[in-house]
Amino acid sequence: MTQLALVIDLNVCVGCSACVTSCKEWNTSGSAGPLCDENPYGLNPTGTFFNRVQTFEIGQFPHSETLHFPKSCLHCEDPPCVPVCPTGASYKRKEDGIVLVDYDKCIGCKYCTWACPYGAREIDEKSKVMKKCTLCVDRIYDMSMPEADRKPSCVKACPTSARLFGDIHDPESAVSLAIREEGGYALMPEWGTHPANHYLPRRKTKLKIHMDELERADNPLKVDGHLPKPAKDASSMDDASAW
C-alpha cells in the first residue's frame, strides 16, 4: 500500500510562504476551477487556501525562538472527515492514500470541517463546496511533465527544501528515512487519526568536547611531569633533543 505524504522540516523552514503562493497559483489555475478570493485588494482580504504558514513564538524573551509552521491537510491514514460525509464526496484513495473531495458531489454542509481536528478544510465561498489540499494530484501523475516536476507545487517552490514528498509506507523512501532518523512526528496524536504528513522538529547542532579529549586519556598513573617525561610546561623531548 502506498501512502503519499509531505514531511515538513521545521528546522529549515524560514516562513517565506513560497509554498503558499505556489500552491494557490497551481490550484487556482486548474481544471477544477478557481480557489475564490474575496476583497483580494481590499481592507480584509480573505480566500480559500490549501496551505498556510503560521508563526509561533516559543518561550519568553529573551529565551524565545520563532517557529514557522506550514499547515495543510495531513492526509490522515484514518481520516475522521471521510466517514462523516453523507454524500461520499470526501474519500480516501486506496491506491495512494490521498484524501480528496469530489467537488461535483459535495453539498457544502461543512460536516467534514467539524470532524477534522486540524482545520485543514476550507469552504469555497463562491462555489460553496469544501476544498482542501490534493497533494497536487493533477500534477504528480501528469506524464506530460518532466519527472522532476511531478511533485506537489509547494515542494517544488520551497527554497530551503523544507518540504519532502514521498511514500511513507516505503521504508526506504526519503520521507520514511527522514521520519525515522530525524525524529519525525505527527500532529495531535491523541485523536488517533494517524496523519500521513509528518513534521521534523527543530534541532540544534552542538559540538560536544569532553575533558579527556583535551587531556591525555592514556595516562593512568598520572606520571606526567615525572621522569623520564618532562612536565607539560617543561620543555618536551623534542626540545630536549634539539640542542
Partner 1 sequence: MKPAFSVIFLTTLIGAAQGLFLALFTHQSYALFGLLPMQSDEFYGNGSAIAMLLLGGGLFAAIFHLGKPIYMITRAWRGILQWRTSWLSRELIALPAFMGVVFLFGVSHLAGFRPVLLTLPSGQPIDLSFVLGVVGTLLAFTLFVCTAMIYACLRFLREWNSPLTVINYILMGGSSGFILAAFYAASAAPDQADFFVGWAIIITVLAFAGRAASLVRNARLKPKSTMQTAIGVKHPYIVQRSMGAMGGTFNTREYFHGKSIAFMRAIKPAFLIMAFVVPLALLAFGLFTPSLLGVAFVLQYIGLLAERWFFFAQANHPQNLYYQTIG
Q: Which residues of the shown chain bind partner 1 in the complex (CB under 8 A)?
A: 17, 20, 39, 42-49, 52-60, 64, 66-67, 69, 71, 80, 82-89, 105-111, 113-119, 122-123, 125, 127-129, 185-191, 199, 201-202
Residues 6 or more apart whose CB falls under 8 angstroms from that of 139 comprise: 26, 145, 149, 150, 151, 152, 153
Q: Which CB sits closer to partner 1, 57 or 215?
A: 57
**Is residue 48 a contact partner of residue 125, using CB atoms and an 8 Å limit?**
yes
Distances (CA, A) of 236 to 137, 214, 229, 243: 71, 18, 8, 12
* Closest CB to partner 1 among residues 31, 60: 60
Cβ nearer to partner 1, comparing 39 with 219 = 39
DSSP structural state of residue 124: -
* Contacts of 218-221 spanning 24+ positions with Cβ under 8 A: none
- Min dist. Cβ of residue 216 to partner 1 (A): 40
Q: 87 or 219, CB closer to partner 1?
A: 87
d(CA 226, CA 240): 15
82 vs 136 by CB, closer to partner 1: 82
CB of 177 to partner 1, least distance (A): 19
Residue 34 CB, nearest approach to partner 1 (Å)? 16
Shortest distance, position 54 Cβ to partner 1, whole Å: 5
Shortest Cβ 226–partner 1 spacing (Å): 51
Measured distance CA(208)–CA(142) in Å, rounded: 48
